[in-house]
Homo-oligomer: A and B are copies of this chain.
Amino acid sequence: MSLPISRYPTPTLDGLPEDIRAKILEVQEKAGFVPNVFFGFAHRADEFRAFFAYHDALLLRESGLTKGEKEMIIVATSGANGCLYCVVAHGAILRVYEKAPMLADQLATNYRKADITPRQKAMLDFAMKVCLHSDELGDADYAALREHGFSDEDAWDIAGITALFGLSNRMANMMSLRPNDEFYLLGRLPRAPKG
């Protein structure tokens, strides 16, 4: 596909700082291709490093949320923000993690109609409020989370992931970041590709 991946020039691997090139080669080794977000953000090395450090801090840490639940938050809030890149890319990751080929389309369109547990529904209610009306957050929202067994650290995780991808959604919308073609099909077939 020769369509540009962004409004901004795409850097070449060779022209990138060593640590960024290494990170990109590592993800390529693991995923089989380089998600465009890596090249999109690599337009500015320091922001690239900060974004992925934040990403890893939130997504790789031990948490009361599973890896799949974290991706649910990303997909549902990115849908609300109209961010094509994140819906498609994280939709793929979610399908692979949860071995649930239909879940991402459900969450991106209307999380109230998705095949999720009431606990996950409460998690997404909180995430959507952080996403759309964070100024209105109050004690009742934390109480609703606690009723489903979420701790204060879990609340922070939900808000943090929503907030970080709110940033990512805005950057992707600004640069018109194009999802890799590979993502659209990933995790949709009965035997999901290795994630």
Q: A interface vs B, CB < 8 Å?
A: 3, 7-8, 43-44, 46-47, 49-51, 53-54, 56-58, 61, 79, 81-84, 87-88, 91, 101-102, 105-106, 108-110, 112-115, 130-131, 134-138, 142, 152, 155-156, 159-160, 162-164, 166-171, 173-176, 178-179, 181, 184-185, 188-189
Contact = CB atoms under 8 A, between A and B. Distances in A.
A184 B84 contact: no
Contact of A174 (B7, B159, B179): B159
A44 B79 contact: no
A54 B167 CA distance: 11
B43 A47 contact: no
A155 B174 contact: yes
Nearest to A188: B185
Given A50-B57, A164-B167, A171-B160, A185 B84 contact: no
Interface of A is mostly: helix
Q: Which residue, A51, A110, A175, A181, has most C-beta atoms of chain B within 10 A?
A: A110
Given A81-B135, A184-B188, A109 B108 contact: yes
5 contacts: A83-B134, A84-B114, A87-B105, A112-B138, A164-B167
A109 B87 contact: yes
A101 B189 CA distance: 14
A136 B91 CA distance: 21
Given A53-B46, A174-B137, A163 B156 contact: no
Contacts of A181: 102
